[in-house]
Structure 1
Amino acid sequence: MNDRPRLVLAGLSGGAGKTILTLGICRAMAAAGLRVRPFKKGPDYIDAAWLGLAAGRDATNLDPFLLPESLLLPHFLEKSRDVDISVVEGNRGIFDGMDVAGSCSTAALARQLDAPVVLILDATKMTRTAAALVAGVAAFEPGLNLAGVVANRTAGARHRDILRRSIETLAHVPVIGMLPKIPKNPIPERHMGLVSDREQGAVDAILDGIAAVVREHVDLDRLVAIARSAPPLPDVAPDEPGCDAPLSTEADSGGAPVIGVVRDAALWFYYPENLEALEQAGARLAAVSLLDDAPWPALDGLYLGGGFPETHVEALAKDTVMRARVAGLAASGMPVYAECGGFMYLCRGLVVEGAHYPMAGVFPVDTTLCAKPQGLGYSLARVVADNPFHPVGTLLHGHEFHYSRCQAALEGGLPGPESFCLRMERGVGMHAGHDGLLFRNTFAAYTHIHAHGAPHWARNFVKAARVWRRGKMPPAAGRG
């Protein structure tokens, strides 16, 4: 059995204040000397990056849709090892999942982790009704351990007093904290959520300020006690090789293949497990940037994650040397894998506010930034065409979150269905229910994957990089 002090922070809806509260709790506990491991439920890169900064340890994404059930608890056990407390931030409303049954909800995750839940409640213009809401949450689903409530956006001493007495005497759930209204969001938001930590100045001062508010208005000692009340977890091993276990690799007398990972202010959306999986499959990773002129090492593969190419579009477009370098790598047949923002960079151009900016030109399409999301949420993509990364027939559990849409380049139409590697069974993709363009050995899609949900991906990527290094890799069948 494994003692893993842990708690889940949940809300009644998005915007309840979960992220700010979780940031403050992680920062305050870390400052008090506790070793804190933050977890983020759901497909999210930006909140996870902030949580990692707050705790001083990388945040880990936990999601019952992206991770197979056989791997979720082993993954949590591995990542919560050697820390004092694990803090899991939920997403959306506590019972909101993929369907009316609430599958893949925050409550479902809390049950899988056998973790106590602390509910953050937006108490704006509410007193006794808050008790009814809390009582409803406590009784709604069997197996939920609602251990406490933090009331958010409270108005004053009288409001807080009535709230506390109502919730504790009528709903019989302890109130752990009462947060005041904060006049201004300490972390500004924009179209894809919180502003990136890479763009926000004085990050430490911001997090310390949030921690100070939480420290003053939330009983951190009681939160620690709640976390420590969680029962021991059983010893479990994954049913199949996951990313926490070393993967067998082919012998390579030339050394580990080198995969470049674009990490800069334009592209930085990566699950840490994806990078770990590449290393465990035998690769050596090298950080590279699209936004400076520093030379790149000799590469055997390239990984372009998601991000915000639209916020750096002028710099990306002006660097003709970099665009030609990336296009040349793709044309050479090197294995290249791109997700969302990385796909946008590999296109012919990116249109922002009516202006067309040239990109790397690997794919004969443009993307256009829109005012509203063009793809949002969990996705299911069936692999329907040969490519170096995903076997045909595989059903990928992924997610998409993009404000851009794929459109025809100025001189041609959009590719037909036969040009795509993925058929969307859930989600939007690039065009007409399809996703995943392929040029030679360069694959790009709006679909983000998690390495635990696609254990073949890292092995195939590294195998392709190793084969290319040996000079034996032809273009994927029927493409390029």
Structure 2
Amino acid sequence: MAGLSGGTGKTIVSLALARAFRRAGRVVAPFKKGPDYIDAQWLGLAAGRGCSNLDPFFHSREIIRSVFYHKSAGADLSLVEGNRGLFDGMDERGTCSSSELARMIDCPVILAIDCTKMTRTVAAVVQGCAGFEPGLNLAGVILNRTAGERHRSVLLRSMETYSDVPVLGVLPKMGANPIPERHMGLMSDQEYDGAGHLDRLADLAEEWLDLDGIAAVADAAPNFGPAPAPVFPGPAAAKAARIGYVHDAALWFYYPENLEALEHAGAELVRVSLLDGEPWPEVDGLYLGGGFPEVFAERIAANRPALDYLHSRAEAGMPIYAECGGFMVLCDTLEVDGASHKMAGVFPLGTAFCPRPQGLGYTEAEVVEDSVFFPRGERILGHEFHYSMCVSDGAADLRHGLRMCRGQGSALGRDGFLHRNTWAGYNHIHALAVPGWANRFVAAAAAYGKGGGQ
């Protein structure tokens, strides 16, 4: 599922299709193109099955095909939601675009078009897209945000007259987005029960979309060819360490492959929360992903046992890896709407939530100091999307592990603040793009668990 740009409705269409096919008894394997946690989470909820990301910036064609093939196992249909416009990539050649991803996995494309204030022009746009890039299989279009029967009639006649690309459905304008949004996109399902709204989207799909025609497009996809290598080659290592990972409404941005990589490397994963007040079990390492700590800052600040545990374990040399929201929790304070909330205090820094993004997009960085997670000299591809920023003058004086070659990072082109065996910053990684990270994390946790913490 692709669009002409961001905001054309392809996410809503993808959710509607995933839910409708699931209700019809089909097993749907969902995927999201690009670095995205929120849409992927909703796609997984709609399909009732975990969603993986496919990203040509992070991953080679071989890795992408492996993830797609193996995560589709046992499914009747695989649904990939693109991002931005179909041909929009990192340069004028469309590098890392949704169309490039479609070619990598030999996947037919259905284009969702926002038809607001357009009729015949839609046919011209579709024909232009169909012939724009060699090797693209534009198998159909969905006409979105149509204004009424007359509008739909002119659109359909125009497509029949001027285009040979089939129309696989039309959708009327919706009065409001069925899933609330906030600064990073759709609101998290961790905070909002969207099951009923997903079912209403499925109702919409069943009424307005040609589900049989869309399923036929998937069925007619080219043969995938020989099975690629497994996502994680070789047998999983024996369990060597317990690693806790914070997963609650405040922090929940984890690529499934990051957790799978840790397990494959020998980690026993233990889920913990900053919000429920339950005591944390003893672990050998901690992983704090991104999320929305600014929304729950008061509740996090009130959970002093968890914050004190983080601080004491960092001082004891436990391996702790924190990304974005997790980094904010490890700082001294978090400022939201003028109120300052006391956090774990591992780093003598404050972060403040801002009305506009402070870092957005892909990142490239060089490791400039050895740590238990990365060796000096390694090049890391990642991404960042944060509305907060460091507000402490002392950031420049702290040890840091990354020099940002592309992207903002935390301060002065730096990221990956270091304190003993704690690493924290705004940069997100995908484990399949940094293949040694999981093994090193587990090894460090195992050493700590045996009394080898530094």
TM tier relative to shorter chain: over 0.9
Corresponding residue number in structure 2 for 1:6 = none
* 1:459 matched residue in structure 2: 439
What amino acid sits opposite 2:42 in the alignment? W
**Are the counterparts in 2 of residues 260 and 287 from structure 1 also a CA contact under 8 Å?**
yes
AA in 1 matched with 2:285: G
Shift of 1:169: 2.4
Pick closer, same or farther for the CA change 1:283–1:227 going to 2, 3 Å: same
2:301 aligned residue: 317
The answer to whether residue 205 in structure 2 is matched with residue 214 in structure 1 is yes
Partner of 2:58: 66
Alpha-carbon distance in 2 for matches of 1:403, 1:246:
40
Per-residue CA distance 1:40-76 (angstroms, 9 max, x = gap): 0011111111111100101111111122233111111
In structure 1, the partner of 2:131 is: 139
Matches within 5 A, 1:11-410: 11-201=3-193, 203-238=194-229, 243-246=231-234, 249=237, 256-408=240-392
AA paired with 1:206? Answer: H
Kindly state the Cα deviation for residue 236 of structure 1 after the two structures are TM-superposed: 5.0
Give the counterpart letter for 1:166 in structure 2. S
Contact 1:243/1:277, CA 8 A, preserved across alignment: no
Give 1:473 deviation, angstroms. 3.3
Residues 425-452 of structure 1, C-alpha deviations (whole Å, 9 max, x = no match)? 1111001111100100000111111111
CA–CA distance in structure 1, aligned partners of residues 185 and 253 of structure 2: 13
CA RMSD of aligned residues (A): 1.3
2:391 counterpart SS class? strand
3-state DSSP of counterpart to 2:395: coil
Aligned to 1:4: none
Residue 429 of structure 2 corresponds to: 449
Aligned residues: 454
SS of corresponding position for 2:402: strand
Residues 168-207 of structure 1: per-residue CA shift (max 9 Å, x gap): 3212110001000000110011101000001113x22111
* Aligned amino acid, residue 245 of structure 1: P
Alignment of 1:415-454 (within 5 A): 415-416=396-397, 419-454=399-434
Kindly provide the amino acid, as one letter, of the partner of residue 277 in structure 1.
Answer: A
Alpha-carbon distance, 1:256 to partner: 2.9
Shift of 1:164: 1.3
The code of the aligned residue for 2:182 comes to R
Deviations 1:1-23 (A, max 9, x none): xxxxxxxx000000000110000
Runs of 4+ in structure 1 deviating by more than 2 angstroms, as ranges, are: 242-249, 412-416
Instruction: Confirm or deny: 8 A CA contact 2:279 2:306 kept in the other structure.
Output: no
Call closer, same or farther: CA 1:354–1:247 in 2, change over 3 Å: farther
Cα distance per residue 1:98-146 (max 9 Å; x no partner): 1111100000000001110000000001100001111111111111100
Please say if residues 68 and 452 of structure 1, whose CA atoms lie closer than 8 Å, have aligned partners that are also in contact: no
Question: Counterpart in 2 of 1:414?
Answer: 395
* Corresponding residue of 1:478: none
Identity of aligned residues (%): 56
AA aligned to 2:447 is: V
Letter in 1 for 2:104: Q
Does the CA contact (< 8 Å) of 1:435 and 1:446 recur in 2?
Answer: yes
Q: Once the 2 structures are TM-superposed, how far is the Cα of residue 307 of structure 1 from its aligned partner?
A: 0.3
8 Å CA contact 1:67, 1:453 repeated in 2: yes
Indicate if the aligned counterparts of 2:331 and 2:345 stay in contact, CA closer than 8 A: yes
Give how far 1:335 is off: 0.3
Q: CA deviation at 1:364?
A: 1.1
Separation of aligned partners in 2, 1:248 and 1:26 = 32
Q: Distance in 2 between matches of 1:394 and 1:425?
A: 12
1:360-408 CA-to-partner distances (Å, cap 9, x unmatched) read 0001111110000000011111111111111221111111000001121
1:243 CA drift (Å): 4.5
The whole-number CA distance in structure 2 between the counterparts of 1:51 and 1:21 is: 11
SS of structure 2 residue aligned to 1:397 = strand
Q: TM-score, normalised by structure 2?
A: 0.98
Could you report, residue by residue, the CA deviation over 1:244-286 in whole angstroms, capped at 9, with x for unpaired residues? 334664x7xxx53100010111000000110011000011000
TM-score (norm 1): 0.93
- Please give the alpha-carbon distance, in whole angstroms, between the structure 2 residues aligned to 1:386 and 1:243: 27
The residue number in structure 2 matching 1:3 is: none
Q: Distance in 1 between matches of 2:188 and 2:84?
A: 20
CA distance in 2, matches of 1:26, 1:244: 27
Cα distance in structure 2, aligned partners of 1:140 and 1:304: 43
